[in-house]
Amino acid sequence: MAEADERTFLGLSDVSISEDIPVEGEITVPMSSHSQDDDYSTLDEPVKETIIRDLKAVGKKFVHVMYPKKSNALLRDWDLWGPLVLCVSLALMLQGGSVDSKEDGGPQFAEVFVIVWFGAVVITLNSKLLGGTISFFQSLCVLGYCVLPLTVGMLVCRLVLLASMGPINFLIRFIVVIAMFAWSTLASTAFLADSQPPNRKALAVYPIFLFYFVISWMILTFTPH
């Protein structure tokens, strides 16, 4: 009996499957579950979350400007919302002032707005012509965000001007404006220094110095009606 079973199994070993016979079946490979987050995008999120996320990003860039150091934070995720808010705020605070005389109305909103943005564009073009490695809008973002110290200085000067005019009043405003001017210049050069060729950094920094100097002069010479 045992010998018969052994002969049967030995016979099965000689059986071959023809290539014409279709082999049917299903092979399943375990895959990770597809989550809903894979299909999630900013187009699907609520408007409230988008606004909150953008406000947090702007706030983080303000912190980077107030504590300047060599970083690519402003270059990596650039935006123009912060510079727009700072420019509008500065123009509103400078509006309606008298610089030389009572007949001269001082810089108005449109003039300040054009000076800030036109100056930033000229500096950006100069940076690109000198061989800068950052994009046009990245440079605008850095220059715009670095107006923050001067905007704060303008706010302080407006508060100081509420007191009586005098040499002490001017001295306080002079110190504040000089400090904010240095802060803005150092902050912008800290972010833009590595984007220029080593032998052309001075040519790139000089227009930045003039840009913030003009804004500082407008703030220092501002006197309300």
201 is written with which tokens? 């950094």
Residue 190's alpha-carbon distances to 65, 67, 97, 183, 208, in angstroms, are: 10, 10, 33, 10, 12
Domain ranges of the chain: 75-97+106-221
Mean pLDDT (whole number) for 114-133: 85
Q: What is the pLDDT of residue 131?
A: 80
Print burial letters for 145-163: b (CB count within 10 Å at least 16), e (below 16).
bbbbbbbbbbebbbeebee
Query: What pLDDT shows up at residue 99?
Result: 45
- Give pLDDT tens digits for 136-192: 888 888 888 899 999 999 999 989 888 777 788 889 999 999 999 999 998 888 877
* Token digits of residue 4: 């018969």
Q: Residue 42: which residues within 8 A CB-CB, separation 6 or more? A: 50
What pLDDT score does 1 carry? 53
DSSP state for residue 62 in the 8-state scheme? H
Confidence check: pLDDT of 193 > 80 = no
In tens, the pLDDT along 80-103 reads 888 889 988 898 888 765 444 444
Verdict on whether the full-model pTM lies above 0.85: no
**Position with higher pLDDT, 17 vs 195:** 195
